[in-house]
Amino acid sequence: MALQLDARPPTAPTPGRSRLSRAGRLSRIDAKYSPYLYIAPFFVIFAIFGAWPLAYTFWVSLHDWDLLGSNPTFIGADNYTRLLADSDFWHSVVNTLGIFLLSTVPQLLLALWLANLLNRQLRMRTGWRMAVLVPNVTSTAAVAIVFGVLFGREFGMINWLLDLVGIDGIEWKSNRFASWVAISTMVDWRWTGYNALIFLAAMQAIPRDLYEAAAIDGANRARQFWSVTVPLLKPTIIFCVIISTIGGLQLFTEPRLFHSGTNAIRGGPLRESQTMTMYMFENAFAPYYNFGYGSAVAWLLFALIAIVAAINVLIIRRLGSSARPPEAKRKGGFR
């Protein structure tokens, strides 16, 4: 706004004309510069609290840097070499990837199936949509605590149900693979409905006559789903996969609160389900405050996210790229 105050017309022949040209000038300055003012808050906030910290994490990772930070010593790649030889770190990498696979793959397949169900003539359409979305709007921490109890060893409902069908109780918290399954169940529960609605929106944008044409060609319902629906959903699927990758590999709240007690940040007594974000947190904050080492974990996780996202995109591009119907035009809003 200071710009406007400084904008004085160079000459002022008569008072009346001066006012006019001044107003015109002001409005031109307004039109030219105010857009930058309006978009500036995002860039300022993102630069200070998003981009800078992420970039600076790399700088910190090259130092021996503790809480006081009074005298950080540059140690080059030492944190990284230590990390690559750190079995607890690799343990967390495997946990992260395991939980990620168990949570993303079933989640997206189930979401596709659910979207297909919702994409029909239904009574109480909004009701069904709300029912599948409600897990997504609950508090993550609350849900993690509830699932922690549902998966309890002795009095948990899941083990009780398993017992009914003759399966021995499972040690959901201290068996590594079982804890992955339990945590992934939580993530699936939360995100399947959300992704289903996104797929549903994309499905509704597919022109009906494509299905009619496919039916005339003798394709049954299942065939239509795999050869018309899925290929046309590909951009949406890629979008969901990337979002799930970015979120899934940074998983923290669910595994952290699935466990309770003083050492919960380790994800169980033997780090059964400690994810990389938890390992970063364990090192970087109370009680160790080893900022340099934690930052190195953060950057390796960043690299892993980039690699996995790229691999995912490549895989999905490959799938069914041979038989690809023409791209559907998406216009206007759908409900």
Partner 1 sequence: MSRLWRASPLTYFALVAAGGLSVFPIYWMFVVASRSSDAMGQLPPPVTPGGNLGANISRLFANTDAYFLTGLINSAIVAITVTVSVVFFSSLAGFAFAKLRFRGSNALLMIIIATMMVPTQLGIIPLYMLMTKLNLNDRLPAVILPVLVTGFGVFMMRQYAGQAISTELIEAARVDGCGTARIYWNVVLPALRPAIAVLGLLTFMTTWNDFLWPYAVLNDPENPTVQLSLRALSDGYYQDMSQVFTGTAIATLPLLLVFVLFGRQIIGGIMEGAVKS
Question: Residues with Cβ < 8 Å from 294, sequence gap 6 or more?
Answer: 280, 281, 283, 284, 285
Say if residues 186 and 148 touch (Cβ distance below 8 Å): no
Total interface residues for partner 1 by CB under 8 A: 106
Exactly one of 79, 257, 267, 279 binds partner 1 (CB under 8 A); that residue is 257
Q: How far is the CB of 322 from partner 1 (least distance, A)?
A: 26
- Contact mark string toward partner 1, 235..254, x via CB under 8 A: -x--x--x---x---x-xx-
Closer CB to partner 1, residue 68 or residue 323? Answer: 68
What is the rounded CA–CA span in Å between residue 283 and residue 206? 49
Q: How far is the CB of 286 from partner 1 (least distance, A)?
A: 7
Closer CB to partner 1, residue 180 or residue 291? Answer: 291
Say if residues 169 and 159 touch (Cβ distance below 8 Å): yes
What is the rounded CA–CA span in Å between residue 92 and residue 278? 8
Q: Which run of H or E residues covers position 315? A: helix 291-318
Q: Report how far Cα 16 is from the mean position of its chain's Cα atoms.
A: 59
Q: Does 81 bind partner 1 (CB under 8 A)?
A: no
Q: How far is the CB of 221 from partner 1 (least distance, A)?
A: 8
Q: How far is the CB of 316 from partner 1 (least distance, A)?
A: 16
Distances (CA, A) of 27 to 1, 6, 32, 206, 218: 12, 13, 8, 45, 64
What is the rounded CA–CA span in Å between residue 27 and residue 272? 64
Q: How far is the CB of 236 from partner 1 (least distance, A)?
A: 7
Q: How far is the CB of 145 from partner 1 (least distance, A)?
A: 5
Number of residues that make up the chain: 335
Distances (CA, A) of 245 to 84, 100, 203, 306: 23, 8, 22, 9
Exactly one of 97, 201, 213, 313 binds partner 1 (CB under 8 A); that residue is 201
Q: How far is the CB of 111 from partner 1 (least distance, A)?
A: 10
What is the rounded CA–CA span in Å between residue 281 and residue 267? 12
What is the rounded CA–CA span in Å between residue 268 and residue 108? 28
Residues 1-20 that bind partner 1 (CB under 8 A): none
Window of 13-21, 174-182, 260-268, 318-326 that interacts with partner 1 by CB under 8 A: 260-268
Window of 5-13, 88-96, 126-134, 167-175 that interacts with partner 1 by CB under 8 A: 126-134
Q: How far is the CB of 222 from partner 1 (least distance, A)?
A: 13
Tokens of 212: 């009619």
Residues 214-233 that bind partner 1 (CB under 8 A): 221
Exactly one of 118, 183, 228, 237 binds partner 1 (CB under 8 A); that residue is 118
Residues 277-296 that bind partner 1 (CB under 8 A): 277, 280-281, 284-286, 291, 294-295
- Contact mark string toward partner 1, 146..185, x via CB under 8 A: xxxxx----x-x--x-------------------------
Q: Report how far Cα 331 is from the mean position of its chain's Cα atoms.
A: 27
